[in-house]
Amino acid sequence: MNFTLISNIFEPHVRGGYELGCQAIARKLATLGHQVTVLTSQAPGVLHKSAGTNGLNVRRIFEPVFEYEDGLSGTFARNPFWQRRVDNAFGGVLPANVIALDEHFSEHPPEVIWLFNPLGLGPVGILETIARQPARCLIHLMDHIDGSIASHQHFHFYLGRWRRIKSRLTAISCSEKMRAANEQLGPYRHHHVIYNGFSPQEIPDSSRSHAPDGAFRFVYFGQFSREKGLPQVVKAFAALLRSQPTTDCRLDLFGKGGAAFESELHEQIQRENVAGRVRWHGFTPKDELLRRLHEYDAAIMLLNPSEPFGYAPLEAACAGLAVITTADTGIGEIFPKTYPLLVANRDDTSSVKKKMEWCVTHRGELRSVADQLWKHLAARCDFDQLTMPAYLKAIEACPVNQPIPGTTGLLAANATVEFASHFH
């Protein structure tokens, strides 16, 4: 089949799990023999980079997503023209992107349109343009898209159009949490919950065969942001060192975030007097990171309760690591209820510290705990065996949209205004 995937950011630019999930699906579709085109934005400023596109047909037809950059957002924070741009990018319409997308479809009509993150592209305009196409149309929800739309209505009111357009699309949510969050502004035509998947083949065999010795080493990897719980990780680690003064414990951090947050985190590490026990590795390519996970005893990821899913705990478990993580998250939905390292409240430093102490004092049992965890998770989110087949089944069940006449070519910018009349 002829697939068009749309993502606001794509290789070689990465912010987090949304982009990585889209990349994995694009590669798998190509491997299965499908024709795959990825539509994304032009180089989005200073976002850090991963490896190249590995031969995928990637077309950068949209305006750059500058709004994700801390520096620009701060510089123009009080500028009303910038604020209007942000509202349109995250909760409305960017006409240039509508025209570019419509012209692409006119020249390269797809059989399946699979939309990932539309934020920053003008999501209302993007969805309306997609829904006009005579194709199977899906949106893949790994973020609070409805919440973003609702919070960016300062200069316009697109909520009615957003509700109407959702009724013409099929949605896939990465967790029940995301399904509920993205039904707040009205239902989709069909809405499936398919948990994100991870392929065990991505983990080198050596990562599962080696049991660390020497210093006890915790690891965090992923985005560096307040939402991912890094301040709580550092605070609990400091409490652990105070309670275990004779135990050699280390904490390694892999990732990158905004300059302001990274500065705050550096200051906290110094203030907690743990700088000598914390190593900051910065952004590390995924394949290199996965090769190194065998060096660690346990992963700690205190994700925000509103976290849509979280790939990192899944990857850590697949690599044979015990994982300390928060229970009330998307991925927490599929952890065993009796798993001993789930944290009910990440702000309860004493509780988190006790989980870390348990790992240290039960070091010999961690491999068994990790193996049982991965066995449980793999039965629900093995990418090749379960997740991708579920995606393809949802696509097969997705009806082909009936085209709306008279809304192609350069009329596309105005078509988003006219679109609503077709629902009355």
Mean pLDDT of 162-186: 94
Kindly report, residue by residue over 65-83, the tens digit of the pLDDT. Answer: 876 665 555 556 667 788 8
- Helices 159-166, 123-131: inter-axial angle, 10-degree rounding: 40
Q: Does the structure show a pLDDT above 70 at 386? A: yes
Q: What is the three-class DSSP state of 199?
A: coil
pLDDT of residue 412: 43
Domain of 59 in residue numbering reads as 2-197+386-423
* Token pair recorded at residue 90: 């995250």
Assess whether 162 and 222 both reside in one domain: no
pLDDT of residue 161: 95
Q: Does the structure show a pLDDT above 60 at 311? A: yes
Mean pLDDT of 137-165: 94
Continuous H helices in 167-229: 176-181, 206-209
Assess whether 278 and 138 both reside in one domain: no
- In 3D, which of 100, 183, 200, 195 has the Cα closest to residue 146? 183
Query: What is the spatial distance between Cα 176 and Cα 73, in angstroms, rounded to a whole number?
Result: 32
Assess whether 81 and 9 both reside in one domain: yes
* Token pair recorded at residue 13: 């630019």
Mean pLDDT of 8-32: 84
Continuous H helices in 337-365: 349-361
Kindly report, residue by residue over 289-303, the tens digit of the pLDDT. Answer: 999 999 999 999 999
- Which of these ranges, 52-56, 106-110, 154-158, 216-220, has the smallest mean pLDDT? 52-56
Assess whether 170 and 279 both reside in one domain: no
| Run of H or E residues at 367 | helix 366-381
Mean pLDDT of the chain: 87
Q: What pLDDT band is residue 283 in, cutting at 50, 70 and 90?
A: confident
Mean pLDDT of 399-411: 62
Mean pLDDT of 268-290: 92
CB neighbour burial string for 347-383, b if at least 16 within 10 angstroms, e if fewer = eebeebbbbbbbbbeebeebbebbeebbeebbeebbb
Handedness of CA 175, 177, 182, 187 (dihedral sign): positive
DSSP class of 406: T
Kindly report, residue by residue over 83-141, the tens digit of the pLDDT. Answer: 888 899 999 999 999 999 999 999 999 999 999 999 999 999 999 999 999 999 999 99
Cis, bond preceding 110 (omega within 30 deg of 0): no
DSSP class of 387: I
Length of the chain: 424
Assess whether 247 and 298 both reside in one domain: yes
Mean pLDDT of 389-398: 97
Most confident of the ranges 43-57, 209-223, 372-386? 372-386
Query: What is the spatial distance between Cα 381 and Cα 373, in angstroms, rounded to a whole number?
Result: 12
Handedness of CA 291, 360, 366, 253 (dihedral sign): negative
CA 57 vs. chain centroid, Å, equals: 22
Mean pLDDT of 349-375: 95
| Residue of 78 and 252 predicted with greater confidence | 252
Assess whether 137 and 267 both reside in one domain: no
The answer to whether the CB of 276 falls within 8 A of the CB of 242 is no
Q: Does the structure show a pLDDT above 80 at 51? A: no
| Run of H or E residues at 114 | strand 112-115
* Token pair recorded at residue 319: 């690599």
Assess whether 88 and 233 both reside in one domain: no
Mean pLDDT of 50-54: 51
DSSP class of 231: H
CATH code (residue 215): 3.40.50.2000
Assess whether 273 and 334 both reside in one domain: yes
- Which of these ranges, 13-17, 220-224, 312-316, has the smallest mean pLDDT? 13-17
Assess whether 179 and 247 both reside in one domain: no
pLDDT of residue 260: 86
Domain count, the chain: 2
Assess whether 286 and 399 both reside in one domain: no
Q: What is the DSSP string of 71-111?
A: HHHHHTTT-HHHHHHHHHHHHS--HHHHHHHHHHHHHS--S
Q: What is the three-class DSSP state of 413?
A: helix
Mean pLDDT of 175-202: 94
Mean pLDDT of 171-175: 96
CA separation (Å) from 202 to 157, 197, 221, 311, 383? 45, 12, 16, 13, 11
CA 279 vs. chain centroid, Å, equals: 25
Residue whose entry in the numeric block shows the structure tokens 């652990």:
240
| Distant-in-sequence, close-in-space partners of 292: CB < 8 Å, separation ≥ 6 | 284
pLDDT of residue 250: 97
Query: What is the spatial distance between Cα 265 and Cα 424, in angstroms, rounded to a whole number?
Result: 52
Assess whether 135 and 230 both reside in one domain: no
CA separation (Å) from 322 to 208, 213, 363? 12, 15, 10
Q: What's the pTM?
A: 0.84
The answer to whether the CB of 171 falls within 8 A of the CB of 185 is no
Residue whose entry in the numeric block shows the structure tokens 């991505």:
202
Q: What is the DSSP string of 268-322?
A: HHHHTT-GGGEEEEE---HHHHHHHGGG-SEEEE---TT----HHHHHHHHTT-E
Assess whether 211 and 192 both reside in one domain: no
Q: Does the structure show a pLDDT above 50 at 418? A: no
